[in-house]
Amino acid sequence: MIIQCENCQAKFRLDDSKIPEQGRKVRCSKCSHVFFVQREPEPSPPPSQKPHQADWEISRWEPSPSPEAQPSGSEPEPVFEPTVRIDLAAQEPPPVEEEEQPPPAPTPRAKPQRSIMRPLLLAAGGVAALAIVVVVLARLGILPLQLEEPKESPTAQLVIDQAQLQGKWEKNAQVPRIFIINGTVTNQSKKPRSFVKVRGLLLDKAGKTLKEVWAFCGNSIPLEDLRTKAPSEIQNIMRNREGEKGANKLLPPGARIPFTLVFFEIPEGVETFGAEVVEAQIPTG
């Protein structure tokens, strides 16, 4: 399937199988213009009589779908990049046998163009003219399209099993009492993660957050340290970005990593607790 950028007129070859029935947005690798494309309809057998040029243009080139019919912006826009670039000005095509051209129209029609995607075909009519255009484009070379997969959010597929969260009260030598949340994060994506950060929440009956703390995964705190160390020392352990022995530097797909969240100065009215992943990185290289 051959498409043309509405902005810079660059032409691209795109695999029909990568375009869904409802169409999709693509970005021009030459000028970064974003436009909507649809899969070309299946060719139908030619009629017994040669259709009028105006009829052929209308049936072959339908107007682009309205903005309401286009896919919502919830999906990331696929990006395509050229894998081959050819300087057309420096390339001379080999001589070809002259082919019979359809006679030009005596007077250009004053009908305004509905789309800037078809300037190459406006003067041509019928199947023969389309074949000539295809030959010319093949000899000049076409910039290929390369669709890029949407980027995955770093925190996507990092899951905390809320049913397995454990919360308990403990005494501490420095403060009257502390509340501890223990849990694990599972990497359910197909890519590794690093420096996973979680947030713990204390909630009232209405689900309103009364207090929150954060910690990096991979830092285990012995019970004796929880009972004897000062709050500042415990917080320093929770905020060790790389985790104990570098456990939080790389989390492979399917792996699990524990975390510990410690609350000091517990407010009144706490009824329940929870935890969520708030930050992570996708390693590169």
My answer on whether 75 and 118 are in the same domain is yes
Task: Note the pLDDT of residue 6.
Answer: 82
* pLDDT, tens digit, 9 for 90 and up, residues 184-207: 999 999 999 999 999 999 999 999
pTM: predicted TM-score of the whole model, two decimal places? 0.49
Euclidean distance between CA atoms 231 and 25, whole angstroms: 52
> For residue 137, what pLDDT is reported?
62
| Amino acid 105: pLDDT | 61
Structure-token pair, residue 5: 């950028």
CATH code of the domain covering residue 192: 2.60.40
Count of other CB atoms within 10 angstroms of residue 175? 12
Of 102, 129, 148, at which residue does a domain stop? 148
Residue 129 confidence (pLDDT): 60
pLDDT digit string (tens) for the chain, length 285 residues: 787 888 888 887 777 777 777 777 888 888 888 888 777 776 666 555 544 443 434 334 444 444 444 444 444 444 444 433 433 333 344 444 444 566 666 555 544 444 434 544 454 556 566 666 555 666 666 544 444 557 789 999 999 988 889 999 999 999 989 999 999 999 999 999 999 999 999 999 999 999 999 999 999 999 999 999 999 999 999 999 999 999 999 999 999 999 999 999 899 999 999 999 999 999 986
The answer to whether residues 188 and 221 belong to one domain is yes
Same domain for 92 and 225?
A: no
Quote the pLDDT of residue 271: 95
In this structure, are 143 and 8 located in the same domain?
yes
Domain contains 132: yes
Is residue 127 domain-shared with residue 171, that is, in the same domain?
Answer: no
Terminal C-alpha separation, the chain = 34
Check whether residue 113 and residue 177 sit in a common domain. no
Distance CA 205, CA 68 (A): 42
What is the spatial distance between Cα 10 and Cα 144, in angstroms, rounded to a whole number? 10
* Same domain for 140 and 178: no
Is 31 inside a domain boundary? yes
- Tens of pLDDT, residue by residue over 98-119, are 445 666 665 555 444 444 345 4
Reduced 3-state DSSP string for 167-180: EEEECCCCCCCEEE
Residues in contact with 271: Cβ distance below 8 Å, sequence separation at least 6, in sequence order: 203, 204, 205
pLDDT at residue 159, rounded to an integer: 97
Examine the domain organization and report whether 12 and 143 are in the same domain: yes
The answer to the question of residue 153 being in a domain is no
Q: Which of 103, 119, 148 marks a domain boundary?
A: 148
**Residue where a domain terminates, one of 148, 167, 198:** 148
Task: Please give the pLDDT value at position 10.
Answer: 83
Q: Name the helix (H) or strand (E) containing 223.
A: helix 223-228
202 lies in some domain: yes
pLDDT at 246: 96
Instruction: Please indicate, yes or no, if residue 259 is contained in any of the structural domains.
Output: yes
HSE value, Cβ hemisphere, 13 Å, CA-based, for 271: 8
Cα separation, 70 vs 61, in Å, equals 18
Q: 228 and 191 in one domain?
A: yes
The predicted structure's pLDDT at residue 127: 58
Q: 20 in helix, strand or coil?
A: coil
Residues 97 and 196 in one domain: no
Distance, CA of 183 to CA of 194 (rounded, Å): 17
Number of domains composing the chain? 2
Q: 113 and 6: one domain?
A: yes
Residue 88, SS3?
Answer: helix
pLDDT value, residue 103: 61
Q: Are 142 and 74 contained in the same domain?
A: yes
Residues spanned by the domain of 118: 2-148
Q: The tokens 């009144």 sit on which residue?
A: 268
- Helix then strand count (H, E) for the chain reads 4, 14
